[in-house]
Amino acid sequence: MTKKELKDFLDTKVAQYNHPSFLESDPLQIPHRFLAKEDIEISAFLTATIAWGNRKSIINNAYRMMELLQQAPFDFVMNHHPNDLDRLAPFVHRTFNGEDLCYFVKSLQNIYRNHGGLENIFSQYATTTSTQTAISAFKQVFFELPHPLRTTKHISDPARGSAAKRINMFLRWMVRDSATQVDFGLWKKIGPAQLSCPLDVHSGNVARKLKLLKRKQNDAKAVLELNKNLRELDPRDPVKYDFALFGLGVFERF
């Protein structure tokens, strides 16, 4: 395919999958249950954190997390008492367990009380062209409290070579325009042009078949390569192609 043919093909797939029907089988449906900005942010962040493995299991366990937070994630984070965390102990999603969830609640409280919230941290450390340095800075802030060593693996760091798929996905949810009622467009201090594609096995395989990606590993260097090529297709909103790459891989077995 020529570059124009590739762009036309992917733009068609974006239009197909960047649609509210996408939410029926996607974990993004969880934050769509809420209306307040902070409830959306926290539910989206926690949902993205456990977004690996079977999609039905992710959705069920994300909903379970919201039940444990009494369907009021921001209020629970800000106003919980230490013994309220006991109700979180039984939670488990693959290697993410109740101990991890308890620390996440404590850290989120610290972030909203002392750092101005999630948006403020990411926007403060983002560059004009990237959020990757902001993800690394966010991890440092997130673990500034005493924490279980095991929990650090649940926040990825591009500076250590990770593709940081789940945080890049969370940022897409928060930043991209809400016109199609899929992403939220809640954050105004970061623009879509700064985002990176959430790279996983599905989007990576499709990107390689379409010659958008040569690197074999799905790591931070692959994200940079994919960023460059997607920005050539749409410099203002390159991450919209996440819908095309993911949809082609998951739903069409491209």
- pLDDT in the model for residue 254: 82
What is the predicted pLDDT for the residue at 1?
84
Q: What is the pTM of this model?
A: 0.96
Quick check: 241 and 230 in contact, CB under 8 A?
Answer: yes
Neighbouring residues of 99: CB distance < 8 A, sequence distance ≥ 6: 89, 148, 150, 151
Average pLDDT per consecutive 10 residues, the chain (254 residues; last block may be shorter): 94 96 95 98 98 95 98 98 96 98 98 98 95 97 98 97 97 96 97 96 96 97 97 97 95 86
